Each structure stands twice: as structure tokens, then as C-alpha cells.
Structure 1
Amino acid sequence: MSGLDWPALMQAGLRGLGLRPAEFWALTPAELRLMLGERQGAAAALGRSRLDELLAAYPDGMAAMGKGERDE
């Protein structure tokens, strides 16, 4: 199904953090994990070289036009 252990997450949120049910259900799983102090799988900061790789792989309209057309 979703791969999340909802009973454990509900217990941690409702009992452990003292959230009300409406507060618990308004959170995303990522927000709940952050509130619980979980840092597993936290992404490293995006460095310049990785940003350049992403820009080359997924150019936007202006970057795809080429340098000469942008500079005019």
C-alpha cells in the first residue's frame, strides 16, 4: 500500500508529540518526521556542480535558446 507504518506514526504524533487528531492529519509525513527529529535520508545541500548538471539536463526556455539570443 503506502509503505508507511500509520499506527506507529499516529502513536508518535498523538501520544509522543501531543498533537490533536486534526493537527496530526494536517501534517505531511515529511513534516511529521521532521517534528519527530528524524534526519535519515536527509538530502545534502545542492552544490554548484550538481546545479549545473541539473540545468544542463533540464534547460528552461531561455537557457535552451542559446547564449547569443539571451544577450540581445
Structure 2
Amino acid sequence: MVERTPWPALLAAAMRAGVAPRDFWRLSLKEWRALVAPTEAGLSRAAFEAMAQVFPDKTK
């Protein structure tokens, strides 16, 4: 059995991300994947503090 591409769901996801339908149809697969890829979590406070110890700000 061949899986059908869920175009309505993909278009709805693009619209939620602020992509106009016209622009959705112009996206390359690489651009689409970048758009919907999960974002990485930011640096935790503990990780920031550890990094700040290794790379302190220079003061005048």
C-alpha cells in the first residue's frame, strides 16, 4: 500500500508557522525540514555558569 502525502496537514502546519500558501508550495524539501525541525533547548543556567567560568568576560 502506498502512503499518501498529508498535504492538508502539512499546509496547515506551514500556515501556523506563518508561511503563506504561495510560499509553502515554493519551499524545497531542505527548507521545509529546517522549518519544522525541532528547536534545540537553550543553554541551562548551570551550563552558562560553567562556560562563564572557563571564558570570563574581559573587563577594562
TM-score of the pair, normalised by structure 2:
0.46
| Greater RCO, 1 or 2 (C-alpha within 8 Å, sep 6+) | 1
TM-score of the pair, normalised by structure 1:
0.40
Higher helix share: 1
